[in-house]
Amino acid sequence: MSAFSSEEVRSPRWSLHLLAALWGFVSFLFRGLLRLFFPSSSSSSFKPIPLVELPVCPPRQIPLPSSSSTAVALPDSADTPDDLPKLTVVLDLDETLVWACETSSLPASIHEHAVDAGLKWFHLECISTDKDNEGKSKINHVTVFERPGLQEFLGQVCQFADLVLFTAGLEGYAGPLVDRIDAENRFSRRLYRPSTISTEYREHVKDISSLSRDLSRTVIVDNNPFSFLLQPLNGIPCVSFSAAHPRDDQLLTVILPLLKELSQQGDVRSLLRERFHMPQWFQSRGIPASFWSSGRQT
């Protein structure tokens, strides 16, 4: 009787152990399947996307290649062949070199974050096209943030290229702003909104043939590709800048090396065609090649 009772006591315990072992095996198998079909996103395997691939700009933006693909060994600017005409670099202003916002509309959190990160900034009073009750031009108060590396960028580029500013902004706003960021007068020429043209596809297009420069030695850097709609083979589409991204390093690590490389090219359009494929980009947006190839390309 005692033996029977003892066996009855031990049997349920053995069954529980067996069930626990089976449950452990099933759990292990399930976790393995999860790892197989849903890989872990832990920090050890996470690789941040390079800045130039982040969606920090409008959908129209075409990011530049990563800095690793453009930071190639380049000859010193002093070694530029004497028979090559000096490179002309046309630079956009807003969201390319600076980011500006009406002071009253600037979120305090963005300003504080940018200042804490070391972004250079200043206040600016600009003449508005609007009039007050007495017919006098209103004054707009604007806060301007310089893109990181701006002064070093301008200082280096002007050593091997002729700098031209071309903005769709009005002179009442852009003129005083450029006076602040270019106290050394490194821009040989400044062009404002009246110098842009309207086309059937976009307004405020920058026709760089109006500069009367050799287009084989002319490039335009702009965060809005439609700005160089008429000369797509001369355009460098850059990532838009704003104070919300104070760690931006595009000027010195991406654009400057590319401009140095282009300064060594007999015709910049060949390299830019291979790099950005802008004609195809415009055609994919319904703008035929005949539009920009019918002229303004010499």
To the nearest 10°, report the CA torsion of 91, 95, 99, 104. Answer: 130
Instruction: Check if the beta carbon of residue 87 is closer than 8 Å to that of residue 268.
Output: yes
Catalytic residue status for 182:
no
Q: What is the DSSP letter of 255?
A: I
Q: What is the DSSP letter of 94?
A: B
Hey, which residues does 219 pair with through a beta bridge? 89
Q: How far is CA 230 from CA 87, 121, 284, in A?
A: 19, 34, 15
Catalytic residue status for 94:
yes
Closest CA to 292 of 210, 231, 203, 234: 231
Residue with tokens 């197989």: 36
CA distance 214 to 212: 7
Q: Which of 79, 82, 94, 248 is catalytic?
A: 94
Instruction: Check if the beta carbon of residue 166 is closer than 8 Å to that of residue 195.
Output: yes
Q: Which of 92, 182, 222, 248 is catalytic?
A: 92
* Active site positions, annotated: 92, 94
